[in-house]
Chains A and B, each alone.
Chain A
């Protein structure tokens, strides 16, 4: 890139008076300070959050707090396992349901669909990202959950021999419905990133496959999917990060029962839901425990996102030069939406 090699203006500055040099300096150092501010802010927040969470950790012990199976506000016992498990189960369900659908939609849009349909199809999937999470919650609890309760009960009865799935009574708010709505919510991100990665598969690879007589599907399986694997996994991880941190839709849909559900159709709780639900009335150690839950959530999303970025960046690197410089408008909106980029 030529712009990188622009001299930082030394040549012209040599001929400028110190006074004329001033705005340049001011701008440079001002902007540098602004960027440093972002760093400082995050570090500061993290330290303050740890500070607020300390009383709860001190009372329960870090291990007991994270893995203790007892969230009892009345008795001031705070073991966040039911919350953590709820977060993980719903997010895993979201990935299980959402990723195959998102990848299928991406494959269809990039490889199979008529050119004329491509833009509208992309737009429609991306519109899902424009729906606020509270609206997903509202729709889920008043439309989706009651409509699906019968089906869920039927599945639970039929599959009663499989532990964690069948056998129990299906409640309207439950893990499964939460995971389903989360799957819808992560669809646009996963699909957008998959599509972007797929659009970078070199035409030669695809033509080579078709040239030796592969069918369309064989071409997709042999040259598109392997090329995109780490990018798709990265996109899925970003979706996972979203699902883990999702608050309001989950609070409305999961039932807010502070215990481990016995199967995926029973009520539960999640880290984010506990904070949203209890924070308003919390006092003392309880409040500190909610800060601690926030800290666990923060660390969890941090880990997931770090892995995701690593994979997406690696996917971008294997596709060689030009990544991150030439983006289509659609690519940009997807990027703005997810913050993903090489």
Chain B
């Protein structure tokens, strides 16, 4: 194997019995095989997405709303415009809700709560939030905002469900970054007579900004791909809707609805939409990683 380090090879030649060497080689082969197996699904998914998805892409695919007219297939089924716009609107509002709250809680955990029992409790509950299945968030929001208000589905309710999902990711990543801000920076500012809030807003947050942006983008990317919380909070509609108070289509829900269709053209639309969604999420991930690399803290 080419992966063997030169030193290990020399070592093996001198001291190791053939049986142990064989065992070593066997174990390494298994580990390598496991790694290769781990990479196969990614290759297959990417290949299949490109093959099926690119075939569905066209200008009209992005500029027309889906129609309910799926019986005849062909171009009459429409594109995914409303789904793309809906996803962007819902996720944007979710970020507007989750990011300030998330960073606020993270700042409290690091700057004020540090080590107190209350901070431990908050941290524990944030961890609990991380583990809650996304469909349960959908149920929560349904109970409080649909049953509770006696009204029906709406885009902003989907946003709230997604923001609950984003919160723990934002809090945890922001907390990790805030902890990296050197204590000496805070002490210098305090020593110059700056009040605590000035220290937080002028010193701590700007220093931590790039790292926090990374965490936020990863949270956004995660939320953008979620279907389950939207199913019975934002529901689905075919039309493009710029009013977050109304029904709202979204890419994941559109794909989910199309998967179950018996019509090939509709399934192809699902592939096209899936490729669009994955490209959007990968772009967010990529930007997040680039910012993380440039951050001076991490």
Which residues of A are interface residues toward B (Cβ below 8 A)? 1-4, 6, 8-9, 12-13, 16, 20-21, 23-24, 27-28, 30-32, 34-39, 42, 45, 48-49, 52, 100-105, 107-109, 112-114, 121, 123-125, 127-128, 130-139, 141-144, 184, 187, 191, 210, 213, 215-218, 220-221, 238, 241, 244-248, 251-252, 272, 275-276, 279-280, 291, 294, 297-298, 301-302, 304-305, 309, 324-329, 332-333, 335-339, 341
Q: Given the known A-B contacts A24-B197, A108-B32, A291-B139, are A31 and B112 also in contact in the complex, defined by CB atoms under 8 Å?
A: yes
- Measured between beta carbons, the chain A residues less than 8 angstroms from B121 are 39
- Measured between beta carbons, the chain B residues less than 8 angstroms from A108 are 31-32, 34-35
Pick from B186, B200, B277: contact of A3, CB below 8 A.
Answer: B186
Q: Given the known A-B contacts A215-B16, A305-B127, A324-B179, are A109 and B274 also in contact in the complex, defined by CB atoms under 8 Å?
A: no
B278 touching A246, Cβ below 8 Å: no
Q: How far is the CA of A107 from the CA of B186 in the complex (A)?
A: 39
Going nearest first, the 4 A-B pairs with the smallest beta carbon separation are A104-B34, A245-B133, A132-B225, A3-B183
- Measured between beta carbons, the chain B residues less than 8 angstroms from A332 are 173, 176-177, 211, 214-215, 292, 298
Residue of A nearest to B23 (CB): A217
A329 touching B293, Cβ below 8 Å: yes
A139 touching B197, Cβ below 8 Å: no
- Measured between beta carbons, the chain B residues less than 8 angstroms from A216 are 4, 8, 24, 28
Q: How far is the CA of A332 from the CA of B291 in the complex (A)?
A: 12
Q: How far is the CA of A124 from the CA of B169 in the complex (A)?
A: 21
What are 22 inter-chain pairs, A to B, with CB distance below 8 A? A3-B182, A6-B187, A6-B190, A8-B196, A23-B195, A27-B196, A32-B118, A49-B136, A134-B225, A215-B21, A247-B227, A272-B133, A276-B231, A294-B136, A327-B298, A328-B298, A329-B214, A332-B176, A332-B292, A332-B298, A335-B176, A338-B130
A246 touching B219, Cβ below 8 Å: no
B179 touching A104, Cβ below 8 Å: no
Q: How far is the CA of A304 from the CA of B274 in the complex (A)?
A: 31
A276 touching B259, Cβ below 8 Å: no
* Distance of B57 from chain A, by nearest CB (Å): 15
A100 touching B133, Cβ below 8 Å: no
B256 touching A245, Cβ below 8 Å: no
Q: Given the known A-B contacts A128-B42, A336-B172, are A248 and B252 also in contact in the complex, defined by CB atoms under 8 Å?
A: yes
Extra pairs beyond A134-B259, A294-B139, A301-B136 (20, CB < 8 Å): A30-B104, A31-B104, A35-B118, A45-B140, A101-B38, A104-B31, A105-B35, A108-B31, A127-B285, A130-B221, A132-B224, A132-B277, A134-B274, A215-B11, A217-B23, A280-B231, A302-B131, A325-B180, A333-B288, A336-B176
Q: How far is the CA of A276 from the CA of B226 in the complex (A)?
A: 13
Q: How far is the CA of A336 from the CA of B113 in the complex (A)?
A: 21
Q: How far is the CA of A107 from the CA of B84 in the complex (A)?
A: 40
Interface residue? B66 (CB, 8 A): no
A333 touching B292, Cβ below 8 Å: yes
* Distance of B81 from chain A, by nearest CB (Å): 19
Q: Given the known A-B contacts A31-B107, A139-B49, are A279 and B183 also in contact in the complex, defined by CB atoms under 8 Å?
A: no
Bitwise interface map of B from 260 to 272 toward A, beta carbon under 8 Å scored 1, else 0 = 1000000100110
- Measured between beta carbons, the chain B residues less than 8 angstroms from A138 are 255, 259, 270-271, 274
